[in-house]
Structure 1
Amino acid sequence: MGSDDGFLDVGSNTAFVAEELRRANRLTVVSNSIGVVQTLAGINGNRVHLLGGELQSDERGTFGHVAQRQLQRYAFDVAILSTDEISDSTGFLYHSPAEADLATVVAGRADLLVMASGHFKFGDKAPYVGPDPRLVHTLVTDTAPKRAMIKSFDRWGIDVRFATAGKPHAA
């Protein structure tokens, strides 16, 4: 893969990112999201790869052993992941073990790991732990988290940025 290689997972936040990326040229994007692939394939010389695996229709994405094995063949400049919940003690959490596992594999393959999440996911719980929060470089969100969450992000070394009108800016 070249210098503009990335991964986008399933989720509404990464769908917004895919829409913004429609303006970019000659990207190589790997995804397990049917929506991301449909948004980016066939435009501006992009190369788009859809992971195989078990299709989870509620997520419109592929998961499982096959997807994880395929991920082992890639090295990403940047990976943008969504999360179901964020705990100030545990980090990034998921309701699905398959999603948590896939996110963890992706995190280990990316030079730069970005999490995208709405503020309503701060402080809630889900049963499955995703990537080690110390691997996350940036969190893009819409509203400042509470103090305990900010302390956790600082401890983990996560740069928090706020998205407004489609553009992230520093906290």
Structure 2
Amino acid sequence: MCWVGDSTVHSLLRQQKILALLKLHGVVSVGRLARAVRASEMTVRRDLAVLGERGLVRRLHGGAVLELGKTEESHFSNSRQQHVEEKEVIAKEAAALVSPGSVVALGAGTTTWHVARALAPRTDLTFITNSTNIALELDRGQSNIILTGGHFRTPADALVGPPSLWTLERLQIDILFLGANGIDLKAGYTTPILAEAETNAAMIRKASRVVVVADHSKFGRVTLATFAPIGAAQVLVTDAASPRSMLARIRRCGVQVMVAGRAPR
């Protein structure tokens, strides 16, 4: 019989707890993980190295993030329940960027859905979106809403493909809000869906101002398809838990980084 020692069992339990914390919070520092699992930072770094070798986590400077498959995406109804407080704060900050009388485009996603909720009471705007969920949220009988049309797909409930691209090529956008499944300095803004990357890129081409809205869990992740390099956005709005070192490097790319709840730098 093969026996598993107590130290091995403790290591496995600790690593399971680390994975659960990363799934819940996104990017988590080594210090925070150490406090949560009641272990030294050196022990946590060893655990992260083991989990990294198994392809379960990605190491960042001073912390880690859960390594999801490059083609994985949660359904809209599930994603909408994650990091709700952060998304609401981000949305409030982002909505304040919209000038009166603007043509506002919103890409599909749960953070952009929160931006739509924040903007819905306004009666002076025209909205363009490829998201049925966002169109329904905006439809309070007071706004002009243009739904791009296109092939309907899950899990993000986005409209994509030639009909969507045909419509977007004929429209002009003052300000565009896009989410991202991953933000990486080298890979840029990414999505696991090729067709959605194409639609996002088309929106960017037609927008005078591009604002990326993303909570801290998206940083350090890379999914299948890049739809824009980091510098393609004029503004990035995020929450206070995002990795500061990465935000500093994004600023050096010429992007205005707004941390919701803090004064912009």
Normalised TM-score (structure 2): 0.59
What is the rounded CA distance, in whole Å, between the counterparts of 1:51 and 1:10 in structure 2? Answer: 11
Distance (Å, rounded) in 2 between the aligned partners of 1:103 and 1:133:
14
The 5 A counterparts of 1:2-81 are: 3-44=101-142, 46-81=143-178
CA positional deviation for 1:22: 1.6
* 1:135 to 1:3, Cα distance in 2 relative to 1, 3 A: farther
From the CA coordinates, give the structure whose radius of gyration is larger: 2
Distance 1:34 1:129 in 2: 23
What is the SS of the residue equivalent to 1:10? coil
The alpha carbon displacement at 1:150 in A equals: 2.5
Give the superposed CA RMSD.
Answer: 1.7
Structure 1 pair 169–54 and aligned structure 2 pair: CA distance change class (3 A): farther
Whole-Å separation in 1 of the counterparts to 2:251 and 2:154: 36
Deviation at 1:146, TM superposition (A): 3.8
More helix by share: 2
Matched, 1:89 2:183: no
Structure 1's unaligned 5+ residue stretches are none
1:95 and 1:67 map into 2 onto residues whose CA distance is 18
Report the count of equivalent residues. Answer: 165
Give structure 1 regions of 4+ aligned residues with deviation exceeding 4 angstroms.
none
Say if 1:89 and 1:152, in contact at 8 Å, map to a contact too.
no
Equivalent position SS for 1:157? coil
- 1:57 Cα deviation after fit: 2.9
Q: Pick the structure with more strand per residue.
A: 1
Q: Does the 8 A contact of 2:101 with 2:124 survive in 1?
A: no
Structure 2 residue aligned with 1:150: 247
Identity %: 24
